[in-house]
C-alpha cells in the first residue's frame, strides 16, 4: 500500500534547520538550563506576561502558568525537564517546545531538511533524542495517545535508549525502541536481558494502516538475524498483536523466533506469539470473537425469539450449540490443548539444545 504523499508543506521554521538536524550532545545542558530559567520567569510574572504564541490554526495563546508544563526528558531522576506549551482550554493539545530561546511548533521539530534522513534511522544525536521525546511523550502521550484504541502511553525513555525513528519525506512518522541481549534490565537489578527485546513501537495517527508497523518488525528481525529467539515486551496491545499476526503470516520463517516476554526473558517468562495467535488467546482475536457474539445476540433479539435454557424458543431458530461461534470456540479449545502439549515439548527440546 502506498504511503500518503507529503503534500505542500511550509519550509521548516521559515528556512531554518529543525532542532533534530543541528543539536548535538554538547547542547544538552544549555538547552535544559535555558528552559528552566524561562519557566521560572513565566511563573514569577504570572498574568503580567505579554508573551504570546500563535498556533498553526491562528489561535492566539497567552504564555503563562496555565499554558506551560515541564516534562522530564529522560527516565533517570535529575536528568532535566523540557518546557512545553499547551492549549489551556485543551491541555491534551501540545503546541510547542521551548528550545534555545524560542518556541518550536511540534510539527516543525518532527521535520528534517537533511536529504539523507529517510527510512529507519538509529537515534544518536541530541537532536534526534528530542525528536524521540516529542514522538513518545508528546505525540503519543498527549496529542494522539487519547485517540488510541488501546490507550497506549509510554514512559520517558532512558538517556541511552536504543531506538530507531522512521522518516518519510523529511517527516518523523514512527519509532521503535529495543533492548539488546546482555544489557541490564534496570539500574536496580543485576539481571541482564537473555535475548533482544522490542520494547515500544508507535506510528503516528495519519500514517497508520500503511504497513509501517510490519516494516519496523521486519527491520527488528533483520537487525538480529543471527539470534535464535527475539522478544516483544509484555503486555502486547491488541493493535500490536494485529501487526504481529500480519507480519508472521507474511514471514513464516519468523514464527518460531518471536516470543512475548517478561524481562529478563528466560524460558519460563516467554510464550510464542504465533502460538498465542493460533490458539486465539490474543486480545485482538478475543475482542473479535466477543464482537461476533454480541452481533449474534443482537440478531437473536431482533428475531423476537425468547431464550429459554440456552436455546431460542422459536421453531427453526438456530441454537447456540449449533452456532458457528461455538464451533469455532470448540475448535480453538481442541487446538489449544494440542498446541500446548506440542509447545511444552518444543520448549524442552530447545532448552536441551541450548544446554
State the SS3 of 219-280.
HHHHHCCCCCCEEEECCCCHHHHHHHHHHHHHCHHHCCCEEEECCCCCHHHEEEHHHHHHHC
Give the model confidence (pLDDT) of 79-98 as tens digits: 889 999 998 887 778 899 99
Helix (H, G, I), strand (E, B) or coil at 168: strand
Q: Quick one: pLDDT band at residue 106, thresholds 50, 70, 90? A: very high
pLDDT of residue 90: 79
- Rounded Cα distance between 142 and 136, Å, is 9
Give the model confidence (pLDDT) of 241-297 as tens digits: 999 999 999 999 999 999 999 999 999 999 999 999 999 887 655 554 444 333 333
pLDDT of residue 226: 96
- Rounded Cα distance between 26 and 271, Å, is 43
Give the model confidence (pLDDT) of 163-173 as tens digits: 999 999 999 99
Query: Of 39-43, 203-207, 341-345, where does mean pLDDT reach its minimum?
Result: 341-345
- Rounded Cα distance between 329 and 313, Å, is 23
Amino acid at each position: 500500500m502506498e504511503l500518503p504523499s507529503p503534500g505542500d508543506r511550509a519550509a521548516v521554521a521559515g528556512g531554518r534547520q529543525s532542532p533534530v538536524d543541528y543539536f548535538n550532545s554538547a547542547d544538552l545542558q544549555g538547552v535544559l538550563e535555558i528552559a528552566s530559567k524561562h519557566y521560572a520567569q513565566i511563573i514569577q510574572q504570572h498574568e503580567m506576561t505579554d508573551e504570546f504564541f500563535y498556533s498553526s490554526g491562528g489561535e492566539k495563546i497567552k504564555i503563562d502558568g496555565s499554558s506551560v508544563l515541564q516534562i522530564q526528558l529522560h527516565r533517570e531522576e535529575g536528568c532535566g525537564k523540557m518546557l512545553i506549551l499547551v492549549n489551556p482550554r485543551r491541555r491534551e493539545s501540545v503546541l510547542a517546545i521551548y528550545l534555545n530561546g524560542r518556541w518550536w511548533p511540534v510539527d516543525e521539530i518532527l521535520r528534517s531538511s537533511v536529504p539523507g534522513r529517510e527510512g529507519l534511522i538509529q537515534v544518536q544525536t541530541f537532536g534526534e533524542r528530542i525528536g524521540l521525546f516529542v514522538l513518545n511523550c508528546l505525540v503519543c502521550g498527549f496529542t494522539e495517545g487519547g485517540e488510541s484504541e488501546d490507550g497506549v502511553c509510554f514512559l520517558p525513555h532512558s538517556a541511552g535508549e536504543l531506538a530507531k525513528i522512521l522518516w518519510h519525506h523529511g517527516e518523523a512518522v514512527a519509532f521503535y525502541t529495543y533492548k539488546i541481549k546482555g544489557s541490564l534490565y534496570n539500574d536496580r537489578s543485576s539481571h541482564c536481558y537473555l535475548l533482544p527485546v522490542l520494547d515500544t513501537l508507535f506510528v503516528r495517527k495519519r500514517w497508520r494502516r500503511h504497513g509501517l508497523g510490519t516494516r519496523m518488525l521486519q527491520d527488528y528481525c533483520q537487525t538480529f538475524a543471527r539470534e535464535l529467539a527475539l522478544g516483544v515486551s509484555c503486555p502486547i496491545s491488541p493493535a500490536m498483536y494485529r501487526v504481529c499476526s500480519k507480519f508472521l503470516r507474511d514471514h513464516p520463517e519468523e514464527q518460531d523466533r518471536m516470543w512475548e516476554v517478561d524481562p529478563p526473558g528466560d524460558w519460563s517468562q516467554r510464550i510464542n506469539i504465533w502460538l498465542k495467535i493460533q490458539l486465539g488467546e490474543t486480545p485482538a482475536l478475543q475482542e473479535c470473537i466477543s464482537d461476533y457474539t454480541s452481533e449474534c445476540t443482537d440478531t437473536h433479539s431482533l428475531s423476537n425469539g425468547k431464550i429459554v435454557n440456552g436455546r431460542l424458543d422459536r421453531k427453526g431458530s438456530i441454537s447456540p450449540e449449533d452456532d458457528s461461534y461455538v464451533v469455532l470456540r470448540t475448535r480453538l479449545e481442541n487446538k489449544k490443548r494440542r498446541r500446548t502439549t506440542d509447545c511444552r515439548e518444543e520448549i524442552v527440546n530447545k532448552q536441551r539444545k541450548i544446554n
